[in-house]
A and B are shown apart, each in its own frame.
Chain A
Amino acid sequence: MKKEGQIRIPSGCAIAAVISKDGKKMSGDLITQAMKPMHVRSNGLGGGFAGYGIYPEYKDFYALHMFFDDRSSRISCEAFLKEYFEIVHCERIPTRKMPQITDEPIVWRYFIAPLKSMLANLQLDEKELVSRIVMKINKEQNGTYVFSSGKNMGTFKAVGYPEDVGVFYKLEEYEGYSWTGHGRYPTNTPGWWGGAHPFTLLDYSVVHNGEISSYDANRRFIEMFGYKCTLQTDTEVITYIMDYLVRVQGLTLTEAANVVAAPFWSTIEGNPDYASRRQFTYLRTVFPSLLVTGPFSIVLGYTGGLMVLNDRLKLRSMVIAEKDDRVFIASEEAAIRTMEPNAGKLRAPKGGEPVIIQVKEGAY
């Protein structure tokens, strides 16, 4: 059977997320618990989490989380990393042995800083270098896979049910100001750990529920700009699109959302506001190939915030609720109630309407 990345595997999913607008830290146990009532939305073939603000002691370094098939892949990858980066600290990511999670690869993390000489040499900025190297490792080094590469954030994922994955990675030992979680329901899978969500690049992480019909149009377009879709998953291509629009093209998150889930032409034409009409028209005209169609709901995590977005027809569920400084997001209300029984202001954002939750400046 072909491995994920050699073929495209459709899947359905469960999503949950929580963020503190005051930047207050929450244990990863909260998000692990949130996945439990949505058990049936996953089928045990992939679960994962992303936490922000979890590595305060290494916050100035890129945290690479990696899977290795064996010791020799790790040794050779380390040698490769040292050509570009200073490795400030590295260690095995602590996990629990448990019967629900099997066949684990070697899971390590590296805190790295790009070598100044290398940056000057290649005339690249830090982020561009890190993203290129991540892309290169994932494309070229068999048996090695980088699944998280941002600063002061990290992804944890595995084959299994999400609530078990959280226990496996001992998430209760981490404290973050925002968390996203994901349970996967792939229609078939060779059970590869890299295929689980969240998918990340630098500090962007995406959890996604849906199967986008524009996939190959998006993929073939974004690959023109140095991205390589090694996994053939929607989440991967959406992450690259967001990175391209926000980091490379300098769009705001809302503008990027207006590209990805662009309003219909008829809606644009009916918009009474001239300035927004021009802006929508411009973005649709310039980036037609980055329009994403088909059902999706995503939560995009980034340093200092979360963005929630549905496809423009709202073909996937997604609800939001609040309590004090916390905002909760999930595919089902039950997940929110697990995190906070008294959450209020429950609402379902409209299709194509981005909801951005930003942590107070200086609080993250």
Chain B
Amino acid sequence: MAAEKLRHYALGVLVHVVVIAIWWAFVELGHIEPYIMPSPLATLKTLGGENYRWIANATVTAGEIFGGYLLAVIVGVTLATAFSWSRPVESAVMPLLVTLNMIPKVALGPLFIVWFSYGIFPNAVIAFSISFFPILLTTARGLREVEPDLLDLVRSLRGSRWQLFTKIQLPGALPYLFSGMKVGAILAVAGAIVGEFLGSSRGLGYLMLQVQVTLDTAAMFMAVVLITLIGVFLYGLVLLLERLIVVRDARVQ
């Protein structure tokens, strides 16, 4: 069992190494110009370049992603809870949210900049607005999905609405929440970067635009790698949390 798992992970790592090797071979053997595609080593070397201010920029981007994402989780779960407690609230708010969700969030970027100026905040807001909807939808669905007989069981004991919520609905909705959170995590990363492209003075997305001008492709690659790593870290965190909280059988959906 453990050996099988180890083999599984080893295979995953191996595939990554192979892809990087192919990348390297392609660049070296194909004599590709560095400004078209840098080698893995050239990409890695940019980490030494002090002008890039990697740590500062990565921190900004990570802050936008995590901030927007956390807000999306909080607002999504809160709204889903409100919906499950009050049908009228759901009927009133849900259609509006569906409409709002149809707005391409990217199109709001220039507006956010007018309202909130450049900076971390508008980008976090874009990350939030793009990742919040799937979290809301899945959580609301999870809270709604109570076996009618289970409802009867609680009612036969004259259990309160609050007991139904805390003992049945909320724990039952956790697997749904996590599936929404996984989708949301990926979207939040995209949202923050798009925000930085549209207008900002810091962050990895901003850096990419800066180095693009000088055709410093290696730095652009490195920025993409770091953005990906931030995303992987967030996603891993969500997976870990899910593993800790949700019982195995309920997990796979």
Do these two chains interact? Answer: no
Q: Could you tell me which B residues sit within 8 Å of A by CB distance?
A: none
